[in-house]
């Protein structure tokens, strides 16, 4: 003999499922997911190594490197803010420096551009290390 089914009794008490988001909201989430780029610590460290190397980057590469480093800084700041790392005074100082440098234009002249790239690189490296130290990043590459 089998036990009587309880499915009939619980069907009246279970509310029908409603989606958490509707059309426009889902489209916004989809657009953000399509535009999202995952944090890549290895690429960050490669770019930092390139700009901090004893041999400065070639003049034709400075603009591209500056854009990549700005992107790394944006991701690191976003991670830091999401993880509430601003409560850490060292992280907060580095976040402000990253925001400031990220907004600066690449200066004219090769050596001024290299100096700016090195400031971007040092800041990205220090912020990366600090976020790893306070466990805002799962691992440092």
* HSE-up of residue 114 (Cα within 13 Å, Cβ side): 14
Enter the DSSP assignment of 105. Answer: P
SS3 58: coil
| Sequence-distant (≥ 6) Cβ neighbours of residue 84 within 8 angstroms | none
| Model confidence band, residue 30 (pLDDT cutoffs 50, 70, 90) | confident
SS3 54: coil
* 63-95 confidence digits (pLDDT tens): 999 999 999 999 999 999 999 998 999 999 999
**How far apart are the C-alpha atoms of 125 and 49, rounded to whole Å?**
9
**How far apart are the C-alpha atoms of 114 and 59, rounded to whole Å?**
8
* Full-model pTM: 0.77
7, pLDDT greater than 60: no
The pLDDT, as a whole number, for residue 4 is 61
């Amino acid at each position: 003999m089998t036990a009587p089914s309880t499915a009939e009794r619980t069907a009246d008490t279970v509310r029908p499922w409603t989606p958490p988001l509707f059309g426009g909201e889902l489209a916004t989430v989809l657009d953000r997911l399509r535009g999202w780029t995952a944090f890549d610590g290895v690429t960050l460290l490669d770019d930092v190594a390139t700009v901090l190397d004893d041999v400065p980057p070639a003049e034709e590469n400075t603009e591209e490197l500056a854009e990549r480093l700005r992107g790394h800084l944006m991701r690191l700041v976003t991670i830091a803010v999401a993880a509430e790392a601003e409560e850490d005074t060292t992280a907060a100082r580095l976040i402000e420096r990253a925001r400031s440098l990220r907004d600066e234009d690449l200066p004219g002249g090769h050596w001024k551009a290299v100096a700016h790239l090195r400031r971007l690189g040092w800041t990205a490296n220090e912020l990366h290390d600090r976020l790893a130290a306070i466990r805002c990043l799962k691992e440092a590459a």
